Structure 1
């Protein structure tokens, strides 16, 4: 669990779209311009156009359907040295189905950071079928992710050992030292295995890559759909390239005013809020339910629970298993079933499976590398390097905010970038975008990973007349495809340029 949450949750939030008629007000968004697709568009000189080819199957997986094509775009490794070394950014595309009314390309980022758009977009594309009528859907692996010089820091055995042996809420000096040393060891592994790219994987560089992709695709303006961490990436793009902003939607918004400790604080509030809502939904007093989980975690910390696989569920894995279903209300029954198994049988197969899903572990014990990329990008962005003493000082406040998740998140501030080999870029990201076209900022009141308050702050940071706030009164991480009202507003904005009134609420 880390600042923006796992991208799997963002994908789960893009269910079948329920289309409703929304009341629209305000101005029209500037139409996307694309060479050959709009009377106002014109070709923009830039990188060589992608050479689209049939996609190859990833290792252990299957190739996407015949409608998908893959390519790469070469971008500078160091954007301050445009004539220096380059890296290849991997792309995937499904062309617009109504070619006579095509508006251009729509670029996606589903979050993480560290999520592979090349892998995720084909699985999520059904949710964006209406947008695909007039837009080419384009996913990409940001630099440092998967097929775009993906960062790797550990092998599967080392990853398994860390999840099994490292206490993420240390209670003794020995556990604390092991926790900090493990964070430093992780960073050293990143430097050893991915040192050339590691200094260059920050969000600002990924945003610069997005503009190179826009130019390679021949689009005069960028149309973009960002979810979770993808909203931070979108806000950064808008700040760097306000004149190139076309139609942009940011859903499940990262607070641009929060530093690393602020993000942890926001998540303690957000996940506890979601947990309270979960208990209320099932008719249990939230305070009593929280107390029951705190006691369960205390017992697991003293004696891990068995599973049928022979692996044990320790406290850290238990916290991860509990947090995973809170990303979507649809998943709340899986938390009930997992806790019921522990209560009835004293075994934790279900809760461990939830933790494994979050941690990217398959049934053969292989781990994906999203957590590697996520940490590398986060630590390249954030200057702050909280110490163990500073994390320890946060514990009273964080326990008050969330008795279940607070200690985990407080310690996470120190362990994540402990003795990281690359300096961070900023305290907080810059998102001001004066002169940009209107950007839709969608926040959900019950969002656990990127609490609603961050959406209001993003809209303010983008600037008056740029950030247009849409409030979704509901649960879960991401509103498009979950709320018919939000889906209708977003579709009308992307397809017809209709900008909803700032402050619009979807019940």
Structure 2
């Protein structure tokens, strides 16, 4: 079972709407020099199933259009003149005075496994200020969306996969979980044998440096969110002199191994749940799902225990199981904007209707309303398992359950058992954790959110320290949700925009409330 809490998705938007896109092809390279290739930018078509489906992106404010292209990159970076793959790119041209254009600003929105080609236009208006001086650019990383996507199981098989009991209580249930994980992983190897060894974060970082050259930029200006901060850190380590103005938001702790990361997330999601319960019960209108914060959490725990014994109707014909409900609750904690959906979903679940919680879970898993899945789960597992060296056994997880339960009574078991997702993976993992040391790099603005459930706040300081002296500059946002810039907090956006647009580095330790 994957650890889906590592996936950054736009909460309900992913289930109900995320608009999407993709690519027009091009070659133009000479004598195998991929840096010399010319991209053939065209209007973006509708995204395919691997990207999540949907409509082509809407026109930009003021009449501009999103443009898409395909960039060739080496399949295997150890053989740069060998076979190539196509990487899907999207851009919006800078809207301001051409004489003041800085260059391209490349976004990665996280995951790993998220399609930047679909996500950038979905949030494009949030970055209108940045577009005054940058071409906004994003991409489907290798193995994702239309960039030679990792393929594992069919839509029907994935429905079954996500319905499984991911928090086994008995020996038989544990065996079933491990066997189902092996089945999924074997399907990945069978259907994606060629790409699986080539989707490490170091490969994606090398792709970004090629992208920088093809886009015509002397340095890479970059905005990384969630896993995108890890990718940005790896890029800075490999190419410190090529780093331009860079922002890391919702920061991954680069010093943690997968177990430490999962345990940190257990604490982070528990904190977010605590904050949700406090918020609901503090309203003058009353909280419909509990009288006190503890009552709210107790009722949720009882619901999950009841669902473990007897699921309720969800999005028919599927049933809301304990695992699906846990996943849906976690999804709604990514943003305070979606706490109202969690309240409504819990109300309905207590009355025997699991549709809202299932829709939230579907959005996390990349399932559209027509029953088709994007490849976000397959790519997420493939990239994580290629990056991460540890392989955890069922016996090891059982030993760790008390520690995870202490961190989070609600999410502990689920996150602990998520550690077995790389069992019997076809490709060995690269390292215990990424190397992001970047001596000589330009300053990187590192933004941590004190209420972030998925990338806990402490990771921002760890990233600053790991980048090295004089590189990382920490900014704190005292808020809720995954990430800070898209909270629309004026202090955060002012600091980020000031750096990206004017080169003004905020004072280290700046706090926004």
TM-score by length of 2: 0.90
3-state SS of 1:223 partner = strand
Does residue 47 of structure 1 match 2:36? yes
Q: Which residue of 2 aligns with 1:185?
A: 183
The 1:249–1:291 alpha-carbon spacing in structure 2 relative to 1, beyond 3 Å, is same
Aligned partner (choices 361, 370, 373) of residue 364 of structure 1: 370
Q: Which residue of 1 aligns with 2:285?
A: none
Q: Any gaps of 5 or more consecutive residues in structure 2?
A: 15-32, 282-290
Cα displacement string for residues 69-127 of structure 1 (whole angstroms, at most 9, x for unaligned residues):
11121111111111111111111111111222100000000001111111111111100
Q: Which residue of 1 aligns with 2:223?
A: 225
1:139 is displaced (CA, Å) by: 0.8
1:286 is displaced (CA, Å) by: 3.7
Does residue 378 of structure 1 match 2:412? no
Q: Any gaps of 5 or more consecutive residues in structure 1?
A: 14-43
Paired residues for 1:54-133 under 5 Å: 54-59=43-48, 60-64=53-57, 65=59, 67-98=65-96, 99-133=98-132
Q: What CA distance in whole angstroms lies between the structure 1 residues aligned with 2:431 and 2:292?
A: 41
Paired residues for 1:108-507 under 5 Å: 108-164=107-163, 166-283=164-281, 285-307=292-314, 309-343=316-350, 345-414=351-420, 416-482=421-487, 483-507=489-513
3-state SS of 2:9 partner = helix
Which stretch shows the higher mean deviation, 347-356 or 305-314?
Answer: 305-314
Cα displacement string for residues 276-334 of structure 1 (whole angstroms, at most 9, x for unaligned residues):
00111122544443232222211110111124623211110010111111000111111
Q: What CA distance in whole angstroms lies between the structure 1 residues aligned with 2:387 and 2:13?
A: 26
The 1:185–1:47 alpha-carbon spacing in structure 2 relative to 1, beyond 3 Å, is farther
Is the contact made by 2:34 and 2:72 (CA closer than 8 Å) also made in structure 1? no
Q: What CA distance in whole angstroms lies between the structure 2 residues aligned with 1:228 and 1:464?
A: 22
Is the contact made by 1:47 and 1:74 (CA closer than 8 Å) also made in structure 2? no
3-state SS of 2:450 partner = strand
Higher relative contact order (CA 8 A, sep 6+): 1
Q: What CA distance in whole angstroms lies between the structure 2 residues aligned with 1:445 and 1:12?
A: 24
The 1:11–1:294 alpha-carbon spacing in structure 2 relative to 1, beyond 3 Å, is closer
Q: Which residue of 2 aligns with 1:35?
A: none
Is the contact made by 2:12 and 2:359 (CA closer than 8 Å) also made in structure 1? no
TM-score by length of 1: 0.91
Is the contact made by 1:152 and 1:194 (CA closer than 8 Å) also made in structure 2? yes
Is the contact made by 1:10 and 1:227 (CA closer than 8 Å) also made in structure 2? no
1:339 is displaced (CA, Å) by: 1.1
Cα displacement string for residues 139-176 of structure 1 (whole angstroms, at most 9, x for unaligned residues):
11100001110111010011011222x21001111111
The 1:216–1:373 alpha-carbon spacing in structure 2 relative to 1, beyond 3 Å, is same
1:359 is displaced (CA, Å) by: 1.5
Q: Which residue of 2 aligns with 1:7?
A: 8
Q: What CA distance in whole angstroms lies between the structure 1 residues aligned with 2:131 and 2:217?
A: 16
What RMSD in Å do the two structures reach over aligned CA positions? 1.7
3-state SS of 2:274 partner = helix
Q: What CA distance in whole angstroms lies between the structure 1 residues aligned with 2:467 and 2:5?
A: 20
1:3 is displaced (CA, Å) by: 6.6
1:12 is displaced (CA, Å) by: 7.0
Is the contact made by 2:315 and 2:359 (CA closer than 8 Å) also made in structure 1? no
3-state SS of 1:468 partner = strand
3-state SS of 1:423 partner = coil
1:4 is displaced (CA, Å) by: 5.7
Q: Which residue of 1 aligns with 2:286?
A: none
Count residues with an aligned counterpart.
474
The 1:444–1:11 alpha-carbon spacing in structure 2 relative to 1, beyond 3 Å, is farther
Q: What CA distance in whole angstroms lies between the structure 1 residues aligned with 2:5 and 2:180?
A: 21
3-state SS of 1:107 partner = strand
Cα displacement string for residues 400-448 of structure 1 (whole angstroms, at most 9, x for unaligned residues):
110000000011111x111101100010000110010000000000000
1:185 is displaced (CA, Å) by: 1.3
3-state SS of 2:99 partner = helix
Moved beyond 6 Å, runs of 4+: 10-13
